[in-house]
Structure formats: C-alpha cells, structure tokens
Amino acid sequence: MYSFKMQKLVFVGLILMLSISACSDLQSLDNNPNSVSQTPPHLLLTQIESNAFQVKGLSPLFASRMVISTSGENELQYYKWNRGSFDEYNELRDVTKMMQEAKRVSKPVYTALGHFLRAYYFYNLTLRFGDIPYSKALQGESQDVYAPAYDTQKKVFQGILDELKTANQTLADNPDVIEGDVIYAGDVTKWRKLVNSFRLKILLTLSKQVNDPDLNIKSRFANIVANQPIIASNDDNGQLVFYDQIGSQYGEYNSSTYSSDIYVDSTFIKRLQDRKDPRLFIYAQRTGNAKDQGLAVDDFSAYEGGNPVGQYSNNIDKASAGNISLVSARYYTDPTNEPHVVLGYSEVQLILAEAKLRGWLNATDAETNYKNAIRADFSFYKKNAEKYSSYVDAQAADTYLQNSLVKFASSDTQKDKIRKVMMQKYLRSFEQGGWTVYYEELRTGYPTFLQPQTGPPPTRWIYPQSEYQNNNKNVTDAITRQFGAGNDKIRAVPWWLK
C-alpha cells in the first residue's frame, strides 16, 4: 500500500515535470508586435530633421538680450548659469542609427546627410563646452565605448569640417532620391548648398584662429566660395516649415509663458528704434499704454522694453505701469508662424560680407552682400509675417538701407563695418538661428550685450553632472588640459575664443 502511494506520487511528479519543462514555444512570445528593430533610414531622417531644425525657444533670447523675465531671476538673463546639457548626443544617437541603416541598405545619400547633422550637433556642443567627446563618441552600442575620451576643440572642428567636405562630395556623387526629407523635399543640390554654406559658417566661427597653419582657414573659405554651390536665395534656406497638425506645429505655439512674464529686452528695442527698423513691429507688441492711447503698430514710440539687468522686480513695476512690450503674439498663437531658419541666405550673405571685410576673399564688395542680407531678411518677413508685410516690403528695405546707422559710411573703418554686419546678424535673429548670435558676440565683441552685476557674458557652460558621474576621468582630463584643475567655470576661455 505504502509503496503504491509512493509510486503514484513520483509518477505524477515526473509527468508534471516533463510537461512543464518542455519549454518549447515560450520564446515566440518574446517578439514585440508593436515596433521594428530595423528601419529604412528615411523614417529616422524625418525625426532627426524636425528636431534639429525646430525653433530653439526662449533660452538663447535671454542670453542674447532680446527678452527678459519677470517671474524669477532667469539664470540666462543674469549670466549666472552653470551646467550645460549633453542632450545633442541623444539626437546624434538617431543620426548614428540612420547612418548604420543607410549602410545596410546601401543608400549613401543618407550617410551624407548624417555627416551634415553630426557636424551641426558637434558644432553646437563644442561651442557650448570646449573639448567634447567626438572621435570616440556614439560608440556605446557598436564598440562598447561607454565613457568616451574627449577630443580637443581643434580636433572637433577639423573633424566636422572634414565630414562636411565628405558630405558635399557624397551628395555630388550620389544624387539619389531622399525620402522623408522635410527640409528640401529631397533636393540634393539644395542640400549641397546648405552643407557648403555651413562650412563657411564654421570657418568664420574660427576667425580668431585664422593664422593656425593646420586649419588653412582663408584658402578653404575662398575655395568653397569659388568652386562649390552655396545658398543663393531665400529659396535655398535651410529651414523647417510648420503645419497646423499635432507634432508639426511651431515649437512655441501655445506656450503660456510669453503672455504673462516674458517681455522684450529694452536694449534690443532701443537698437531697432534707433535704426527705425520695422522688424520691431513683427517681433514685439505695443506697450499696454501705447495701445490704450491708440498709438499705431508702426509707431516706434509705441514700444518699450524691460531692463535686462538690475533687480527684475523693477520690470514688474514697469509692467504694472503698462510701459513694457510683450513678445508679438504670433510666436505663441500662430500654429505655423514662420519657418525656422538654421542657415539661410541672409546669414550667408552676412558671412560673406564679413569674410570680405576681413580680406579672406579677393573682393571688396562687402556692402553688396550686406545689402542682400538685409533685403533677404525683409523679404523673409514679408512672405512669412503676412499681417505685417507692408512694413517690410522692398521700399521699406530701401528706406532702411539709407539709415545712417545702417548703411556703410565712407568714413567707416573696417571695424565699423564689421560692427554693422554683426548688428544686422543680431537684429535678424529674434527666434531665429538659436545661439548663433550669442556666440558671434563672444567672437567679435559685437553687438555688445549689457552686463549684469554678475559679470560679462559667460564664454561656456560647465560640463554636465552626468559626465562627472559617468565619465569622470575623461572629463577631469579635459578640464585640466583646457583650464587647469578644478577650473570648469563658465568664464573659462575655450580654444576657439583664444
């Protein structure tokens, strides 16, 4: 009896064991029905482009003395910022994957665009910090590099210039169909123009290193201008157009902050007023009092800004008194507003004007480029800010170009002319071009930004806390190499500004 029970028990147990451990089809459940692990590269391209070309919002406008905040002491406005972000590497992850997928399906055109986007992001990263991981970066998945070494800033610039050269060549050699392209709808020639124009922008950024024998800046610049297609009209602008659909709208659309505690900077308004620059009517709203008094939109005296330095509560008083201008409502109430231009005709013309003034090209007609730039920007707003188009038509541009503070005077020195070029770069950069104009001020000293009590405009950001935690040795080496041990500070001077 007893052994019978025992047998039964063992028997049943064995059956259970066999039936269960035949774990055959468990693995079939592990296939994700929702997503793919491979993709044609163009699905990534749309995502990457729409992020890369999206409007950059208020941050650069605070630092560039274009807006002020009354809801707190804004660290950008008061030049008190500390750590910067490595977020671009997240975007670069998708760029890396797109290039891998392009290689897999043998579509070199996406590899070329990948090089351009890498150059674009690494350019922004190196200007923000100085040395950054570049040659060993983005190899976390492919090479198990989890804590990449930092490259010197010079190496980064050399690298991205080479990548852009490759991009231009690849595009020239492979004029294939580009799908998913929301910038140029697949126009390879326009892409080449953007790539080459961006090379000019980078070379000009390095103007302080113009005599570095390794970089060969002048001849490279001249060579591109002479032999490669560059952006030649507003139609070639590297820009993102917005649509009234969820996910395709202007980045600042419906942002609450504009209508309650963001006002236009008084120094910015003053500079527009001094030049009778009608773009003021497009950027800003009349003050409350001006509206009450019935002053016209094109009355320059209807505008007044907030002081970017001193106690910010003084601006609240100014707001209370109705004497301060909000940012134009179209930036946050128009779902498509205006395209965001990463690099366009107007800026390229200003780049050429400066290069000519600096003697980088065998040409002296800098003023033509300068005038082209202003006309192009006026026509950009004429097209994209329809409500205000009468203020910025061709005639308005002509009048503007005659303003004594705008036009090149015969008495102007080369320095004066560069100042005017920089001023125009500045005046056209409201919600356009991200941090470009801030870095241009660091490079040239123009157009001088009003300093708060905390000091001059910082030259960089402190490396992210996550690098201190996850890449400690490499970041420490980079700091010591550039600025001396423990000197990871916002006013330490990186190579490109030396």
Partner 1 sequence: MKNKNTLKSSLIKSHPCRNIVLFFVAICILHVPLAKAQSNNNKEFKVRGTVRDGNSKEVLPGVNVTIKGTTKGTSTNTKGKYSLLVPSEKDTLVFSFLGYQTEQIPIEGRKKIDVKISAKVITGQEMVVTALGLTQKKEKIGYSTQEIDTKSIEDKTAPNIANLFNGKVAGLTINNPTGLFQSPQILLRGKEPLIVIDDVPVETNFFDISKNDIKEINVLKGTAASALYGSRGKDGAILITTKDASQEGLTVNISNSTMRTAGYTVFPKGQHQYGDGSNGKYAFWDGKGGGINDGDMIWGPKFEEGKKIPQWNSPILDTKTGEKIPWYGTVEGTKYDNKSRYKRVPIPWVSHNNLKAFMRTGILSNSNFSLGYKKGNAQYRFSGNYAYQQGRVPNTSVKRGGVSFASTFDITPSLTLDNKISYNKVFSPNFPAYGYGPNNHIYLLLVWQGTDVDPQALRNHLWVPGQEGYKQANWNYAWYNNPYFGAYKRNQESNTDVYRGQVKLKWDLTDNLFIQGRTSVNKRGKFKDQQRPKSYLRYGDPRDGFYKTWNTSDITFDNDIRVSYENKFSSDFNFSVTTGANSNYRSYEQYYNSTDGLVVPGVYSLSNTKRNPMASTYKKKKAIRSVYATMDLEFYDAFYLNLSGRNDWSSVMPKSTNSYFYPSASLSTIISNLIDLPAPISNLRAHASWAQVSSDLDPNFNDPYQTKAYYQKTGTYNGLPELTYPSDIINPYIKPQQSISKEVGLSAGFFDDRVNFDITYYNVLDKNQIINLPISMASGFTSRKVNGNEYTTKGLEISLNSTPVQSRDFNWHLNANWSRRVRRLTSIYGNQDTYNNLHVGERADNYYTTGWMKTQDGRLILDEKTGLPTRDPYPQLKGHKLPNWRFGLQNQFHYKKFSLSISIDGAVGGVMSSLTVRKLWWGGKHPESVRWRDQEYAAGKPVYVPKGVNVVSGELKTDADGNIISDTRTYKENTTAVSWQTWCQNYPYRAGVTQDESKLFANIFDRSFIKLRDVSLTYDITYLLKKFDVGLKKVSLTAFGYNLAILKKAKIIDPDFGNDNNLQDPSSRYLGLKIDASF
Q: How far is the CB of 418 from partner 1 (least distance, A)?
A: 33
What is the rounded CA–CA span in Å between residue 391 and residue 347? Answer: 21
Residue type, 211: N
Half-sphere exposure of 245 (CA within 13 A, CB side): 3
Q: Of the candidates 231, 248, 221, which has an alpha carbon nearest to the alpha carbon of residue 187?
A: 231
Terminal Cα-to-Cα distance of the chain (whole angstroms) = 96
Q: How far is the CB of 75 from partner 1 (least distance, A)?
A: 8
Find residue 68's DSSP bridge partners.
Answer: 263
Q: How far is the CB of 493 from partner 1 (least distance, A)?
A: 16
Q: How far is CA 250 from CA 131, 254, 336, 428, 432, in A?
A: 33, 9, 5, 18, 12
Half-sphere exposure of 3 (CA within 13 A, CB side): 0
Find residue 284's DSSP bridge partners.
Answer: 327
Q: How far is the CB of 331 from partner 1 (least distance, A)?
A: 13
Q: How far is the CB of 26 from partner 1 (least distance, A)?
A: 4
Q: How far is the CB of 327 from partner 1 (least distance, A)?
A: 10
**Helices marked H in 278-359:** 279-283, 288-292, 313-320, 330-333, 345-357
Helix (H, G, I), strand (E, B) or coil at 196: helix
What is the rounded CA–CA span in Å between residue 348 and residue 346? Answer: 6
User: Which of residues 248 and 459 has its CB atom nearest to partner 1 in the complex?
Assistant: 248
Q: How far is the CB of 205 from partner 1 (least distance, A)?
A: 21
User: Which of residues 414 and 472 has its CB atom nearest to partner 1 in the complex?
Assistant: 472
User: Which of residues 181 and 347 has its CB atom nearest to partner 1 in the complex?
Assistant: 181
Find residue 306's DSSP bridge partners.
Answer: 265
Q: How far is the CB of 312 from partner 1 (least distance, A)?
A: 7
User: Which of residues 345 and 463 has its CB atom nearest to partner 1 in the complex?
Assistant: 463
User: Which of residues 129 and 345 has its CB atom nearest to partner 1 in the complex?
Assistant: 129
User: Which of residues 245 and 410 has its CB atom nearest to partner 1 in the complex?
Assistant: 245
User: Which of residues 211 and 256 has its CB atom nearest to partner 1 in the complex?
Assistant: 256
Determine if residue 458 is left, alpha or beta; phi over 0 gives left, psi from -120 to 50 gives alpha, anything else beta: beta
User: Which of residues 126 and 237 has its CB atom nearest to partner 1 in the complex?
Assistant: 126
Helix (H, G, I), strand (E, B) or coil at 365: coil
Name the one residue in this structure whose structure tokens are 């040409």: 363
User: Which of residues 139 and 448 has its CB atom nearest to partner 1 in the complex?
Assistant: 139
What is the rounded CA–CA span in Å between residue 414 and residue 239? Answer: 31
User: Which of residues 106 and 146 has its CB atom nearest to partner 1 in the complex?
Assistant: 146
DSSP 8-state assignment for residue 67: E
User: Which of residues 149 and 232 has its CB atom nearest to partner 1 in the complex?
Assistant: 149
Name the one residue in this structure whose structure tokens are 């200007």: 127
What is the rounded CA–CA span in Å between residue 89 and residue 139? Answer: 11
What is the rounded CA–CA span in Å between residue 130 and residue 438? Answer: 15
Q: How many CB atoms lie within 10 A of CB 359?
A: 12
| Residue 147 structure tokens | 């804590």
What is the rounded CA–CA span in Å between residue 45 and residue 99? Answer: 10
Q: How far is the CB of 46 from partner 1 (least distance, A)?
A: 5
Contacts of 417 by beta carbon, 8 Å cutoff, 6+ apart: 357, 366, 370, 408
Q: How far is the CB of 28 from partner 1 (least distance, A)?
A: 8
Q: How far is the CB of 425 from partner 1 (least distance, A)?
A: 29
Q: Of the candidates 272, 309, 239, 312, which has an alpha carbon nearest to the alpha carbon of residue 63?
A: 309
Q: How far is the CB of 248 from partner 1 (least distance, A)?
A: 5
Q: How many CB atoms lie within 10 A of CB 316?
A: 16
User: Which of residues 133 and 494 has its CB atom nearest to partner 1 in the complex?
Assistant: 133
